[in-house]
Chain A
């Protein structure tokens, strides 16, 4: 006998120009742990936001039925009222408040607006016992590690009489002990009758904890199956099983000498200085070659790139950079640029562009000294340079005085690339160069990347989309939990083989 607690059917969610979810169906049974797997961008988080009311009723198509009742949530409070609680990947705790205050935030134990502190703290202590967290309720959350904060989030969910608990990548930031404890706790909650939906990239965890698995790919449900019938390989092939269309321009590489070698590169987290984000990574880049870096979210891709780019991220960075056979020391972004390294960020709006300025000032931002004599910028030269890039990169804008914030994503990305190409780098690191860009503009970006390689530059492409890496790269590194777990030439690589390397756990990696 099966008792369905949640049924979502025909869910379609459209953003301007993009279908994030298309006709998704999912059924969750009461008292099970249900895993949702899929690549980055497959639509998992969007689906959970639809369910929890972050995207209110009316902004999507399809029906949600919870405990047999239709749901028309207009906000997250509605869904919590019905017993659906979502714990996001980025924890949402007020770090200076105590554990008890966080647990009852927005749900205070109070009478006529006055908080009953005795009841609050006693109730919090009781919840902490349930989740197995040995801390006092009055301890400020800021004093807890990430693992314990995760438990506070769960205690908070329990305080709301949760029936369906959704966890988005709950163990992504945890160490092994904390992960094991959390997973045990989830099993305990299941036995108490609480249903869990867990989104995870860690397939061994999925295999170990879940009862059933649903695969999402490109915004569609692929299948749902019982764990007894599954293996990690089956899950992987479900996640990646899309065929490569002709979405990538043809390219014959002319590969030259090694230009940059990264040796024993180790980076620690700036917020948790004892946690290594990148461990002893070794990479080589050669002229004219497009190299891919594949890894799931949290694998340390961006951290690796930004730490190489003038130590702009991370602490306690160690390792060696060898450029053209000589060791170089790159202590700042300026020095990185001077050594011919360029890094185009994955989040162009936050880190890549000055959105209130025009195209020409953004294009010149990193190479301004090239346009200056004695500290004075030649505005006419700047105009000329920006115009040349507008033509060669096909930036669609009325003129180079157009404000960058008003351009489309694809054109903004072309401005970012122009900025870096103008610095005349030997090495270009492109972090998610086609994120949030439509298919046509993607093709243009790939063509530009090929052109850069043909000019003798080394290009390192970081991407969550495996077909993209297989489509444009000559060689691909895989990164898992901060370690390079593989280096495969394009010819020998498949999405399945990459995904296997990307989900390899630490202990399986040969030293």
Chain B
């Protein structure tokens, strides 16, 4: 039986919530949001030790990125949808359908590859608009709409391809999916590490400089507005940590075959979508919709339009992933993308997205995706059986969400 809330059930003023709260928070840094980074670090450490350092070898690092790029692309779109309180089960099928369509245009119709890519992205957007319409404007739960989409777009893939694969793809597409930046400036010696591509290293240095600059400017802005900022030593640590990681990655890649093009693409997407979620009005509306749908509606957010465009966005990113995946295999096959949706959803949830919506981060989803990628790759290096890999991934997913629920309950209890 439902019990109507009465006035008296609402909480009443308990006075200021205490300044000691503020002091402890600085030291006791947010374990909930940093938990996944620690988990990734531990996983990397464990597999590095177990594989005798092979995990972090130049070629293997390059492999992890190239092999998981399309999942990471999907995870970006997926986390946005999950933040808004929805889900998309159809992305695997959309990857297949868009890849197949791109293959037909490039291989059978001999369309110029840039044109074919643009049309494929539009095709992805149309698929997303279709699903977005049913979810946002017709009001069918996304779970159902995209479950239907999973079947529909797989069917369309079979209709496009018959029961065979189409290939090979133009060189440019294969390069995007599998290739590396050319060594424009030749190699430089790095002493004991051997030769490395100078251009890649310069790009890495520029990225690090840009990261430092952006962080510094943000800090300066906050200081100007008298906002609380981290003490200088912590700030330096927070900037230096990622900078060292980026330089390590770049140097390793430069020692192998330079920067994978998909990494460049992925970096652009991650930076772009991070900005959108943090700073764009649209991005903020996604969190508002997921956090409290009614409150967002009554605050003038065009809720339906936000959800609709999120699905369009997911469709476009699925098309990007579809092109990368087909290009990587050099073949568009009817079973492409099977169960990609599960990896993308798992990445988002491992990365801290909340099932009820309103919470989640692009960087978190990427980290979640990398956690799964490292497990897959490390297990491969160690020659684990498939069942062992699935076991590990299942446990990690459950543990990540359990940790999230637990830490949420703990903070609620401490209230």
Contact A356 B284 (CB under 8 A): no
A window 365-410: CB within 8 A of B = 365-366, 368-369, 372, 375-377, 379-380, 383-384, 396-399, 402, 406-410
> Scoring A residues 346 to 380 as 1 if CB is less than 8 Å from chain B, else 0, what string do you get?
00011111111100010011101100100111011
Contact B8 A46 (CB under 8 A): yes
- CB closest residue in chain B, given A91: B2
Contact B225 A356 (CB under 8 A): no
Of A18, A89, A354, most B-chain CB atoms within 10 Å: A354
Q: Cα distance A402–B415 when bound, in Å?
A: 12
- B96 to nearest A CB, angstroms? 33
- CB closest residue in chain B, given A410: B13
Does A90 lie at the interface of the complex (its beta carbon under 8 Å from any beta carbon of B)?
yes
Contact A343 B225 (CB under 8 A): no
Contact B224 A380 (CB under 8 A): yes
Contacts of B300 in A (CB 8 A): 310, 332-334, 336-337, 366
Of B1, B228, B292, most A-chain CB atoms within 10 Å: B292
**Looking at the complex, which of B16-24, B58-66, B330-338, B344-352 is the stretch in contact with chain A?**
B16-24
B window 294-335: CB within 8 A of A = 294-302
> Scoring B residues 144 to 158 as 1 if CB is less than 8 Å from chain A, else 0, what string do you get?
000000000000000
Does B395 lie at the interface of the complex (its beta carbon under 8 Å from any beta carbon of A)?
no
- Given contact pairs A46-B6, A365-B288, A333 touches B297 in the complex (Cβ within 8 A): yes
A window 430-448: CB within 8 A of B = 435-438, 440-441
Q: Cα distance A45–B7 when bound, in Å?
A: 10
**Looking at the complex, which of B168-176, B202-210, B274-282, B386-394 is the stretch in contact with chain A?**
B274-282
- CB closest residue in chain B, given A371: B281
- Given contact pairs A17-B12, A90-B2, A435-B10, A380 touches B295 in the complex (Cβ within 8 A): no
Q: Cα distance A46–B6 when bound, in Å?
A: 8
Q: Cα distance A90–B3 when bound, in Å?
A: 9
Contact A408 B280 (CB under 8 A): no
Does A92 lie at the interface of the complex (its beta carbon under 8 Å from any beta carbon of B)?
yes
Does B108 lie at the interface of the complex (its beta carbon under 8 Å from any beta carbon of A)?
no
Contacts of B15 in A (CB 8 A): 396, 408
Contacts of B280 in A (CB 8 A): 375-377
- A468 to nearest B CB, angstroms? 13
Q: Cα distance A356–B224 when bound, in Å?
A: 28
Contacts of A54 in B (CB 8 A): 1, 3
- CB closest residue in chain B, given A432: B7
Contact B13 A409 (CB under 8 A): yes
Q: Cα distance A279–B185 when bound, in Å?
A: 79
- Given contact pairs A333-B300, A369-B281, A409 touches B291 in the complex (Cβ within 8 A): no
Contacts of B359 in A (CB 8 A): 356
- CB closest residue in chain B, given A88: B4
Contacts of B8 in A (CB 8 A): 13, 15, 18, 20, 46, 436
Contacts of B291 in A (CB 8 A): 354-357
- A312 to nearest B CB, angstroms? 6
Contact B12 A409 (CB under 8 A): yes
User: Which residue of A89, A375, A406 is within 8 Å of B282 (Cβ)?
Assistant: A375
Contacts of A20 in B (CB 8 A): 6-8
Contacts of B297 in A (CB 8 A): 312, 333
Does A492 lie at the interface of the complex (its beta carbon under 8 Å from any beta carbon of B)?
no
Contacts of B9 in A (CB 8 A): 15, 436
- Given contact pairs A15-B8, A16-B11, A20-B8, A379 touches B279 in the complex (Cβ within 8 A): yes
Q: Cα distance A350–B295 when bound, in Å?
A: 7
Contacts of B278 in A (CB 8 A): 379
Does B221 lie at the interface of the complex (its beta carbon under 8 Å from any beta carbon of A)?
yes
Q: Cα distance A343–B298 when bound, in Å?
A: 8
- Given contact pairs A49-B3, A409-B12, A438-B13, A380 touches B221 in the complex (Cβ within 8 A): yes
Q: Cα distance A432–B53 when bound, in Å?
A: 65
- Given contact pairs A332-B302, A408-B12, A361 touches B17 in the complex (Cβ within 8 A): no
Contact B12 A410 (CB under 8 A): yes
Contacts of A334 in B (CB 8 A): 300, 302
Contact B358 A357 (CB under 8 A): yes
- B316 to nearest A CB, angstroms? 18
Contact B17 A406 (CB under 8 A): yes
Does B222 lie at the interface of the complex (its beta carbon under 8 Å from any beta carbon of A)?
yes
Contact A408 B298 (CB under 8 A): no
Q: Cα distance A337–B298 when bound, in Å?
A: 10
Does B287 lie at the interface of the complex (its beta carbon under 8 Å from any beta carbon of A)?
yes
* A-B pairs with beta carbons under 8 Å apart, 29 shown: A13-B8, A20-B6, A46-B8, A49-B3, A88-B2, A92-B1, A92-B2, A310-B300, A333-B299, A343-B298, A345-B298, A352-B298, A357-B288, A357-B358, A361-B287, A369-B281, A375-B280, A376-B279, A376-B281, A377-B284, A379-B278, A383-B222, A396-B16, A397-B16, A402-B17, A406-B17, A436-B8, A438-B12, A441-B13
Beyond contacts A46-B6, A89-B4: 5 other A-B pairs, Cβ-Cβ < 8 A, are A54-B1, A356-B359, A357-B358, A375-B282, A409-B11
Partner-B contacts on A (CB < 8 A): 13, 15-18, 20, 41, 45-46, 49, 54, 76, 88-90, 92, 309-310, 312, 332-334, 336-337, 343, 345, 349-357, 361, 364-366, 368-369, 372, 375-377, 379-380, 383-384, 396-399, 402, 406-411, 419, 435-438, 440-441
